[in-house]
Amino acid sequence: MAQQPFTFDLIATDEAARAGVFHTPHGALETPVFAPVGTQGTVKAVTPRDLSDLGATLVLANTYHLYLRPGDDVVHELGGLHDFMGWDGPILTDSGGFQVWSLGQINAIDDEGVTFSSHIDGSRHRLTPEQSIAIQQNLGADIIMCFDELADPDNLDYIQVALERTHAWARRCKEAWTNRERQALFGIVQGGIFDDLRKRSVEELLRIEFPGYAVGGLSVGESKPDMYRILDVLEPLLPADRPRYLMGVGTVEDLVNGVARGVDIFDCVLPTREARHGAALSLHGRMNLLNARYHRDPRPIDEACECYTCQHFSRAYLRHTFKAKEIIAATLLTIHNLHTLISLTRAMREAIVAGRFASFANQILSELSIHANKPDVSS
């Protein structure tokens, strides 16, 4: 009998770390998984074929940006995001809430929704929970997100207001969500850095019930200890039979610590953004390839790395292409950075299944700690 979409199979655990499979209409996601961010329907500097070659299985696209340009109606008319962007694997879209607050000029927030001005042309728009769901259903992603309100992580008074609104909007999102056979709607846990508010948020969302649960409002300015503490609080509260998505987190350190605390899905612009600025990510730390020390360096970024870039190009060549402002520079470094995080999540999955995740994680974190005070890792 065919597997029903949006079921989650828990394959193995190692303390809180989990290896699972989330089934979607566009394929099964083996977790833990890192999703490259394709904000405007494209992961910057690489093609869908590159992503497939890298072993990427999930890509994120942005509701806010695609709503403003080219318009979700255009994407829908042209077959939905999968056809539009040439990606036949699972796609996740966010609700647009974060971008409204971070990019748009907000004119008003009320219990019904948000009025804002576009960062593109200043035009005024209104976004409500119902409209966010309608836009995401037009886009046609496999995983869609509830519209929520982001608040400063340590602003207790405002977080309490925003949390009530987030829960009310989650109920409205679920009511507006009609394409349930083809799209899974995730609720978003909010509550800043306050344990009791986070617990209350989980309780409310579990009452509404969703196919999966995201953790929002982290990696937005709070300390690392606060982020990890909140994940520790949430881990035993979130249902074991649903996928858990930590939004917008993507350093090597945070992926390892997130998996150790039961997270299944990650996304972040970090690997592609760093690549466009000449920075390489590795399990040893961050390397700035614009540094003059690499002018004649014949070595690859990482001699242990199996990505296309490291197998074919030297640090000297990569530095040269950045200095010459060649487009290929961003492509080659993006391939390497994405490979680093995608292969890391794959290796963590293997370690969980083998029952050796703790030792694997300790090894990675120890290596990062050794190089933590070095501004540039060269070996």
Instruction: Give SS3 for 364.
Output: helix
Nearest to 229 by CA among 201, 199, 186, 268: 199
Distance, CA of 157 to CA of 193 (rounded, Å): 12
Q: Respond yes or no on whether the N-terminal peptide bond of residue 375 is cis (omega within 30° of 0).
A: no
Distance, CA of 38 to CA of 45 (rounded, Å): 10
Say which residue the tokens 């190009």 belong to.
313
Taking CB atoms within 8 Å and a gap of at least 24, the contacts of 163-171 are: 163/190, 163/191, 163/197, 163/200, 163/201, 165/111, 166/190, 166/201, 167/201, 167/204, 167/205, 167/208, 168/111, 169/129, 170/129, 170/146, 170/204, 170/205, 170/208, 170/210, 171/208
Instruction: Give SS3 for 27.
Output: strand
49, amino acid identity: R
Distance, CA of 304 to CA of 300 (rounded, Å): 9
Catalytic residue numbers read: 94, 267
